[in-house]
Structure 1
Amino acid sequence: MKQPDSPGATITAVDSPETDRGCFLVTGTLGFDSAPGLMKQALRLFEPFDSLVVDFSGVDDCNSAGLAIILELARLMRQQNKTICFKSIPEDIHTFARAYSIEKEFSQSGLLC
């Protein structure tokens, strides 16, 4: 049986050779309990940057909240005329995108880097 969602998911800034581009690493479990806190952290960290890269290689486990986080961050950054892309997205998130019939749009929208 899977453990309940952990509030321990975090996003942190990581070094980038491109000083004008913000690079961030998501770690922990992406779930319904951790999503609101992660969104608050991300929006605060993203504020000074016009271009963002978010790396999900530190994610241990996720549910559909992971897909919701990606879609919401993309929407919010688009509203602010910022560019964002995501890398090392867990296979679970791709599975949810296929289940919701949005994988094609997800992969062709420029969100993957």
Structure 2
Amino acid sequence: MTQEETLKLIQDSDLDENLKQTWTTRIQEEGLTDENLAELLEAIQGEINKTFEKMGAPDISNTEEYQKAQVEKLEAVEAAHTEYLSTMDELSEEAKKIQDDALKAVDQLQADAIKLTMEE
């Protein structure tokens, strides 16, 4: 995103006029640095959070209950991933055994065919 596009985004946003002016001036003076962009995104997210709070849906991502649920979710994902890897290993071993058994059967059939041709 270019500096001009970012300035247009700021002007078209729902930020209050003071914030729009502050960010417009800052970006025009300092440029569109990674730090400015990160702080701008944080400011926009703050405004989004305020809007949700006004609507009765506050940001719960910093609550103990939410953090606990996040940890539990990550643990469940990790457990599912571990189970997936284990199952894939088992299937791989089973496929190798089936392949080995099939090769042995083919070898035996070839040996039997050779015996039959020698007996004739």
- The answer to which structure has the higher helix fraction is 2
TM-score, normalising length: structure 2: 0.24
TM-score, normalising length: structure 1: 0.25
Tell me which structure has the larger Cα radius of gyration. Answer: 2
